[in-house]
Amino acid sequence: GDSVTQMEGPVTLSEEAFLTINCTYTATGYPSLFWYVQYPGEGLQLLLKATKADDKGSNKGFEATYRKETTSFHLEKGSVQVSDSAVYFCALSDLKGSQGNLIFGKGTKLSVKP
């Protein structure tokens, strides 16, 4: 069945460092791809999404490009801040454009030090 694999954490970076969190997926169809973020003590929030190949999702300085050829959706940010410390989840939905059937990766905890 469909699945999502993302790099294991925790990831610890200094402020202003470059961030990459790898995410690859396995799907039989053409899923939509998502990144969710969970700040301490809060629920998951949608960070960005892409619904078709070569789409780039972006929000709050984070970007991810839907790469069909490598089945990847890596999350990047050029300069992280302490406030970016959170757990990041990669997810896919096999319902086109929908978040109704979300399949999540295990999550990657990011800690940014001042």
Partner 1 sequence: GAVVSQHPSRVICKSGTSVKIECRSLDFQATTMFWYRQFPKQSLMLMATSNEGSKATYEQGVEKDKFLINHASLTLSTLTVTSAHPEDSSFYICSANTGVTDTQYFGPGTRLTVL
Task: Supply the minimum distance, in Å, between the C-beta of residue 92 and partner 1.
Answer: 11
- Per CB under 8 A, 31 contacts partner 1: no
**Binding-site member from 44, 75, 86, 112 for partner 1 (CB under 8 A):** 44
Q: Is 83 in the site for partner 1 (CB under 8 A)?
A: no
**How far is C-alpha 74 from the geometric centre of its chain's CA atoms?**
7
Question: Between residues 100 and 114, which has the closer beta carbon with respect to partner 1?
Answer: 100
Indicate the residue among 43 and 114 with the shorter CB distance to partner 1.
43
Residue 57 within binding range of partner 1, rule CB under 8 A: no
The distance from CA 64 to its chain's CA centroid, rounded to whole angstroms, is 7
In the complex, minimum distance from the CB of residue 27 to partner 1, in angstroms, rounded to a whole number: 15
For 35, other C-beta atoms within 10 Å of its C-beta total 26
Cβ contacts of residue 24 below 8 Å, gap of 6+?
A: 4, 5, 6, 70, 71, 72, 73
User: Least separation, in Å, of the C-beta of 14 and partner 1?
Assistant: 25
Stretch that binds partner 1, among 11-19, 20-28, 39-47, 67-75 (CB under 8 A): 39-47
- Applying CB under 8 A, among 12, 14, 20, 45 the residue interacting with partner 1 is 45
Can you say whether the dihedral through the CA atoms of 62, 55, 3, 31 is positive or negative?
Answer: positive
Is residue 92 within 8 A of residue 27, CB to CB? The reply is: yes
The DSSP element (H or E) to which 12 belongs, if any, is: strand 11-14
